[in-house]
């Protein structure tokens, strides 16, 4: 049982005559061989059954608990940094939006992670993750970073995480000049596409400049009045083996770039503006698990992974 599930179970166990050594009928809290407040574990099904019994007897155990989901970005195995290159690649920018965040339990059911509205990075179920800080090679960026999602979720035994890379349609076509944070950044908006850049990754490597901008394309209408987009380009992500408090989300940014020498243009700069004829989008869309022609999910994504803290 993960820390989220264990938290409320332990709280309920305090002082409960039903779950003492005398009253638990085989369950006990701690012993000489199992110290501390955790329950003696006799298999996943037993733990799940016990938690279910607790929640039936004590409705408080189903309450929400605070959760943080940390993100870390790497390039060729080195951390994203505005002050240091990695294998000849100098990053300029890394920002992206996520929404629809859920933790998945052992039965496969998802529980929404309700983001905390902070007036800067998180609002109305959408979060902007920002790895640049406006210094060094990221001089065209903004001060401050945001690499940890914070919110609350129903207590449970969670083993996976899923979210959507992008901005939902009903929030995607606002005017950044009048929108509230985190939708008020002009550099994260495509005026000519009428929507936001879901992902903005820029830098310079041996092949020259590299720009990967993900967003909906083929949109009909004007800013604030978009009826539809031909290619939504929102990437669903599922990370198995993710447990809150034990794992973090890692981005392998090199996956967005073509392998060395794998471009028809030789060492020409890489540019992906999410258009179907952008050569630089082939590797990026494959890494995101998206079909470049339709903008729909197509195959597994390779950009994000679950790693131990």
SS3 of 198-254: the string is: CEEEEEEECCEEEEEEECCEEEEEECCEEEEEEECCCEEEEEECCCCCCEEEEEEHH
Residue 237 predicted with pLDDT over 80: yes
* pLDDT, position 53: 59
Residue 9 predicted with pLDDT over 80: no
185: how many CB neighbours lie within 10 A of its CB? Answer: 18
Which of 8-12, 61-65, 112-116, 243-247 is predicted with the least confidence, judged by mean pLDDT? 8-12
How far apart CA 2 and CA 61 sit, in angstroms, is 14
Residue 293 predicted with pLDDT over 90: yes
* pLDDT, position 211: 96
Residue listed under structure tokens 């007897």: 57
Structure tokens that stand for 296 in this block? 């729909």
Structure tokens that stand for 273 in this block? 């503006």
Structure tokens that stand for 125 in this block? 């179920």
Q: Which residues contact 138 (CB under 8 A, 6 or more apart)?
A: 82, 91, 92, 93, 132
Mean pLDDT of the chain: 83
pLDDT in tens, 44-102: 445 545 555 555 555 545 689 999 999 999 998 999 999 999 988 999 999 999 999 99
Q: Are 55 and 102 in contact (CB under 8 A)?
A: no
* pLDDT, position 55: 54
Residue 296 predicted with pLDDT over 80: yes
């Amino acid at each position: 049982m993960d820390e989220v599930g264990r938290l409320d179970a332990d709280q309920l166990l305090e002082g409960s005559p039903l779950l003492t050594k005398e009253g638990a009928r085989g369950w006990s809290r701690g012993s000489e061989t199992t110290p501390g407040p955790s329950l003696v574990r006799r298999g996943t099904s037993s733990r799940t059954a016990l938690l279910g019994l607790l929640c039936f007897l004590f409705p408080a155990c189903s309450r929400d608990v605070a959760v943080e989901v940390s993100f870390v970005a790497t390039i060729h195995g080195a951390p994203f940094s505005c002050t240091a290159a990695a294998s000849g690649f100098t990053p300029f920018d890394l920002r992206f939006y996520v929404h629809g965040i859920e933790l998945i339990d052992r039965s496969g059911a998802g529980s929404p992670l309700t983001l905390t509205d902070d007036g800067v990075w998180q609002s109305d179920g959408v979060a902007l993750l920002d790895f640049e800080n406006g210094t060094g090679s990221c001089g065209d960026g903004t001060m401050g970073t945001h690499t940890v999602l914070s919110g609350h979720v129903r207590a449970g035994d969670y083993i996976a995480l899923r979210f959507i890379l992008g901005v939902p349609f009903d929030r995607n076509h606002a005017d950044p000049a009048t929108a509230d944070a985190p939708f008020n950044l002009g550099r994260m908006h495509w005026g000519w596409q009428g929507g936001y850049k879901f992902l903005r990754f820029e830098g310079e490597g041996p092949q020259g400049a590299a720009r990967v901008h993900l967003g909906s394309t083929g949109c009909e209408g004007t800013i604030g009045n978009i009826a539809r987009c031909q290619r939504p380009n929102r990437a669903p992500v599922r990370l198995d083996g993710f447990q809150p408090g034990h794992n973090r989300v890692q981005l392998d940014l090199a996956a967005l770039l073509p392998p060395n020498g794998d471009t028809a243009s030789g060492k020409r700069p890489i540019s992906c503006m999410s258009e179907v004829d952008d050569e630089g989008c082939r590797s990026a869309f494959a890494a995101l698990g998206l079909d470049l022609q339709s903008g729909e999910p197509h195959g597994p994504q390779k950009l994000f992974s679950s790693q131990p803290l």
